[in-house]
Amino acid sequence: MSAASSGCRLNSSRIFSSLEFITEKSLIVLRLQCRRPTLVLVEEQHPVSFNENLLLYVLLSSCHMSWRSLSRLGKAGDLQVLTVDALSETELGESAFYNDTTYDGLSNLSSLSLEIRDGATCPLPKILTTYTWPRLAELYMNNIDASRLPAGLDVRLPKLQSLTIRNAHFSVPPVFPWDNETLTLPRNLSRATFLQGHEHKHLDFPTNIYLRKLSIARNRLPQLTDFKFRGSLLRLELNDDGIEEIGGGVFSELHDLQYLDLSGNQLSHLPPNLLKSQVALRVLDLHGNNISSVSHENFETLTSLIVLKLNKNNLVQIRSGTFSGLRRLQFLHLDHNKIHVIEHGAMPTASLNLEELYLQNNLLHNIPEFLFDNNNIELVNMTRNVINFNDSSRFFDDLGRMLGITSETPKCASSSKRFDLRYNDISSLPYSLNWNNRSKKALAYLFKCFKLDMSHNNLHCDCNIYELYNVFAGNTPGNGYLNEDTLSTLSCETPTDVRRTTLIDMTPAKFNCKVKVPLCPPSCDCYRQTISRDLLVDCSNRSLTALPDFAPKGRLQLEMAGNLIEVLEPRPYLANATKLILSNNAIQTIDPAVFGLFAELRTLHLDGNHLTHLPKEITSVNISEIKLDKNYLSCDCKSTWLKRWLNENGKNIPRFTELTCAVGKQNGQRIIDVPDSSFTCDPDDAGTKSQLIVPIAICLAVVLVILAVNLIVYRFSIEIKVLVYNKFNWHPFDRVDDDGPEKIFDAFVSYSSQDYKWVVHNLRHTMENHVPPYRLCVHDRDFIVGETIFDNIMNSVQQSKRMIMVLSQNYVDSEWCMMEFRTAHQKVLKERSKYLIIILFDDVNKDQLDEELLAYLNTSTYLEVSSKWFWKKLFYAMPDLSKRRSLVSEHSGYELNFRPDAEEGIISNREWTAYKKH
């Protein structure tokens, strides 16, 4: 492409001459992308023969050309699809397109897509009403300023099968289709099953004909009471039209309809006979309305229905029989409502097809028992309800009665069913050995045959759950029926000392119940132990400076770790203590009288204190475990007995061979290796100490300075690197070699559509106007039309040197955005690269982040949009632009140099795949 005085010139001869070798039908995508609105002129240096094997797909993005230029492309190859993407009002006007009368190269055009950018609108192009399009089957228009279709359009577009008009001003739907005749795809083409896309999912019609569709989404149709749709339509889209009321007969003459989308409107109820004639309907989307109730009459004739979406409404109750007649239903979405009751018989439990049921974000307190009686359902999502098992005895008895359990546990289905119960109110799972046999067998059936994900609940692991633990741990009859996937999600949240411990990994001694007893010390908690029945007095980490003055009567286990105790003094209750934990205090002195009270003591932890000497009275007590490590013991004349005592009682002293002491001025000597003759006391040498003060002070000052410098460098390492990069264009130590022929973008920008304005006007504007400019991949401009969102994401990640993630609360709430993050995260983990760049917005609530994203933020550097260093740090993290390479066409084998004004290239089937050879 060469520059012209008023735009750019495209040499079609050069392009199509390089494709003369193609002798079989092949799809050629010609994409022209301009950074700003630019006129592109198609010129022929020499005539090119028409090659019918070239099926052309032309995509114009911010570039515009005359119909004459487009016709020239159509004379070189079979121009089938034209997409005009992101044009302004003037670019779609008559001057841009309607300036020639020679349109022979457009006669085979079958699909035309016209879209206005930046929320502007533009009148219907006159070319549509002044030129006859003999083979045009699909017309898509967005942001067209029209309130009705012009007269005679059915004559100009006689074969039209699919009409999409979005964001116009229609107050009454257009009369479409013109006739009931189907149209086959050109050139004996057909859609491959895996390329049919979301528009064709769940629909049943031949792969070699066009989809008969009418879409008038995002218009203004508040009342649809008297209008009637007519004709043979397979798909009808009326989403986001502001519909408040709809008449019962509006669809009565659409007998072939398979897909109906009424989502995003303001419907509060459905007329009973609204869908009476829709026996062929396979997908019904009603999500995002204000519907408060539905009944059996609404759905009784929908015998072919596969997908029903009623999520994001105001449903509060699902009555018996509502969905019972939908025997072919596979996917039912009832999430994000206010449902608190689902009556028995409401669901199509007898259906052999129901696979997935979505009930998340409702107000359900219990799991309806009849859901466990469906042998074919694969997933029931009940996350973020208020489900609890407080009345577990009644629940399992009802479940056992419903399953008809007598003496044997029912057999499981061939595959485990998944029940997602995360983020509910499951704080306890009471179980009793006194339950009847039916309830016990129902419990066994539930935990054997279903994968229950109960993570992220507030399971309280105390004495009330101990008997259930015994069942799971195999300590009672019935062991061996548990589902390991379920057990791994049963994680304790409280008490704090067992937080995130799975129930199966607990020990019996951990199941304690908090009790109120006399003399429980202030600021401490008292627990009754399930096994020993001892009282556990927990005063750990309470900033105590001494042992409590009093404690309850009876056998005691005293938890006093993590306080500020300096002196261990006698207390009367120590005579009843079986365990005394004093780890990580500041104990320097122990009153010898303490050891005279230890008649019952079996465990003593004194590790992590400041002890230099131990009272010899410690040798007179019979203790099973004593911890003494991490102290400051001295081997001197006061400790002559210590070495022998350690050797004689080593079996009761963990790591006793590693205990160290100070011998004179030498620290860190292993006590068992110190000669007996070294346990002596030398006179204090004050002169020597005074001579050491100055050198020690100097050394200490030097160490402190070095530490301070290291801390500054560590704390501001990123800022220092950024300064070096900005001043000297040098990446110290961390430049990544990320060049490669597949890396066609500098960065893929992952963001929520609700942050579009900031991405376009701040991030994209700044990056793409950088000198030299960065090449960004963004959803609205660079995703491939016709490919699935998942494939687009995977391709964009693989073809980009970096991924910029705009992390806002909108991003966190988007499932597609989180999938983009996980894809990039896997790439980071696999390649150990600095691929992911996170831009953090201030509105993100970190407490609501999922564990994977939160873990990444806690272990990696991210950019805060409010930082004054934001842009400098972002440019530092981006790839090096000094080695910019030009893009090489896969098909032609020659180099196409990109200009700031426009980009064009011939890309393989990776970008746009609309058809596949039958």
pLDDT in tens, 44-69: 777 788 888 889 999 988 887 777 88
For residue 904, is pLDDT > 50? no
- φ and ψ at 449, to 5 degrees? -100, -5
Whole-angstrom CA distances from 756 to 168, 236, 762 are: 21, 28, 10
What tokens were used for 152?
A: 């005679």
The residue that leads in pLDDT, 862 or 318, is 318
Q: Which residues contact 63 (CB under 8 A, 6 or more apart)?
A: 8, 32, 33, 34, 37, 38, 39, 40, 902, 904
Name the nearest CA neighbour of 537 among 515, 569, 563: 515
| Per-residue DSSP letter, 6 | S
pLDDT of residue 26: 86
- Ranking 100-104, 256-260, 478-482, 702-706 by mean pLDDT, the lowest is 478-482
pLDDT of residue 686: 42
Helix, strand, coil percentages, rounded to 5, for the chain: 25, 20, 50
Length of the chain: 918
The residue that leads in pLDDT, 238 or 412, is 238
For residue 497, is pLDDT > 70? yes
Opening angle at CA 53, ends 49 and 58, nearest 5 = 85
Antiparallel, parallel or unpaired: β 577-581 and 26-43 = unpaired
- Residue 265 — pLDDT band, cuts 50, 70, 90? very high
Q: What secondary structure, in 3-state letters, does 151-164 show?
A: CCHHHHCCCCCEEE
pLDDT of residue 910: 29
Name the nearest CA neighbour of 143 among 164, 119, 113, 108: 119
**Residues 825-833: what's their mean pLDDT?**
66
Opening angle at CA 182, ends 178 and 187, nearest 5 = 125
Whole-angstrom CA distances from 74 to 83, 298, 663, 715, 721 are: 14, 50, 96, 62, 54
What tokens were used for 32?
A: 């022209």
Mean pLDDT score of the chain: 83
pLDDT in tens, 661-705: 988 878 888 988 888 888 888 655 444 454 456 677 788 888 888
Q: Cis (ω within 30 of 0) for the bond into 495? A: yes
Dihedral of alpha carbons 518, 523, 524, 526, sign? positive
What tokens were used for 829?
A: 């983990």
pLDDT in tens, 350-370: 667 889 999 999 999 999 888
pLDDT of residue 120: 65
pLDDT in tens, 564-604: 999 999 999 999 999 999 999 999 999 999 999 999 999 99
**Percent of the residues in the chain that have a pLDDT greater than 70, as a whole number:** 85
- Residue 204 — pLDDT band, cuts 50, 70, 90? very high
User: What's the rounded Cα separation, in Å, for the pair 466 and 878?
Assistant: 55
pLDDT in tens, 397-429: 988 888 888 777 777 776 678 999 999 999 988
pLDDT of residue 273: 93
pLDDT of residue 88: 44
**Residues 249-272: what's their mean pLDDT?**
96
Q: Which residues contact 69 (CB under 8 A, 6 or more apart)?
A: 10, 40, 41, 42
pLDDT of residue 481: 56
For residue 193, is pLDDT > 60? no
What tokens were used for 473?
A: 């741990």
Q: How far is CA 218 from the centre of its chain?
A: 28
**Residues 269-289: what's their mean pLDDT?**
96
DSSP string, 305-317: --EEE--SS---E
pLDDT of residue 98: 42
- Ranking 21-35, 71-85, 902-916 by mean pLDDT, the lowest is 902-916
What tokens were used for 236?
A: 């009808």
Phi-psi bin for 138: left (phi > 0), alpha (psi -120 to 50), beta? beta
Strand partners, 803: 748, 836
- Residue 93 — pLDDT band, cuts 50, 70, 90? very low
pLDDT of residue 519: 93
Query: Where do the domains of the chain lie, and which CATH numbers do they carry?
Result: 1-160+887-913 (no CATH), 392-510 (3.80.10), 515-632 (3.80.10.10), 736-879 (3.40.50.10140)
**Residues 241-264: what's their mean pLDDT?**
95
pLDDT of residue 562: 95
pLDDT of residue 915: 25
Alpha helices in 455-529 (DSSP H): 466-473, 484-487
User: What's the rounded Cα separation, in Å, for the pair 308 and 190?
Assistant: 28
Strand partners, 111: 81, 138
pLDDT of residue 415: 67
pLDDT of residue 526: 93
pLDDT of residue 664: 81
User: What's the rounded Cα separation, in Å, for the pair 389 and 365?
Assistant: 9
**Percent of the residues in the chain that have a pLDDT greater than 90, as a whole number:** 37
* Overall pTM > 0.75: no
For residue 237, is pLDDT > 50? yes
**Residues 516-533: what's their mean pLDDT?**
90
The residue that leads in pLDDT, 728 or 802, is 802
pLDDT in tens, 459-484: 998 888 888 888 887 655 444 556 77
- Ranking 228-232, 552-556, 896-900 by mean pLDDT, the lowest is 896-900
pLDDT of residue 909: 29
The residue that leads in pLDDT, 375 or 790, is 790
**Residues 768-793: what's their mean pLDDT?**
85
**Strand runs (DSSP E) across 576-675, as ranges?**
577-581, 589-590, 603-605, 625-627, 660-663, 666-670
What tokens were used for 585?
A: 């205090």
Name the nearest CA neighbour of 537 among 524, 547, 546: 524
Which residue type is seen at 863? L
Which residue type is seen at 501? T
Q: Which residues contact 367 (CB under 8 A, 6 or more apart)?
A: 382, 387, 395, 419, 421
Residues 427, 389 contacting (CB under 8 angstroms): no
Whole-angstrom CA distances from 81 to 84, 102, 162, 166, 700 are: 10, 18, 14, 19, 77
What tokens were used for 789?
A: 């969102």
**Residues 544-563: what's their mean pLDDT?**
95
- Residue 906 — pLDDT band, cuts 50, 70, 90? very low
User: What's the rounded Cα separation, in Å, for the pair 66 and 812?
Assistant: 44
User: What's the rounded Cα separation, in Å, for the pair 220 and 344?
Assistant: 40
Name the nearest CA neighbour of 161 among 140, 141, 147: 140
**Residues 749-768: what's their mean pLDDT?**
88
User: What's the rounded Cα separation, in Å, for the pair 250 and 262?
Assistant: 12
**Residues 17-39: what's their mean pLDDT?**
85
pLDDT in tens, 526-540: 998 888 888 999 999
DSSP string, 429-440: ----TTS-HHHH
H or E stretch covering 339: none
Residues 557, 577 contacting (CB under 8 angstroms): yes
pLDDT of residue 339: 97
pLDDT of residue 692: 54
The residue that leads in pLDDT, 334 or 97, is 334
**Residues 287-296: what's their mean pLDDT?**
96
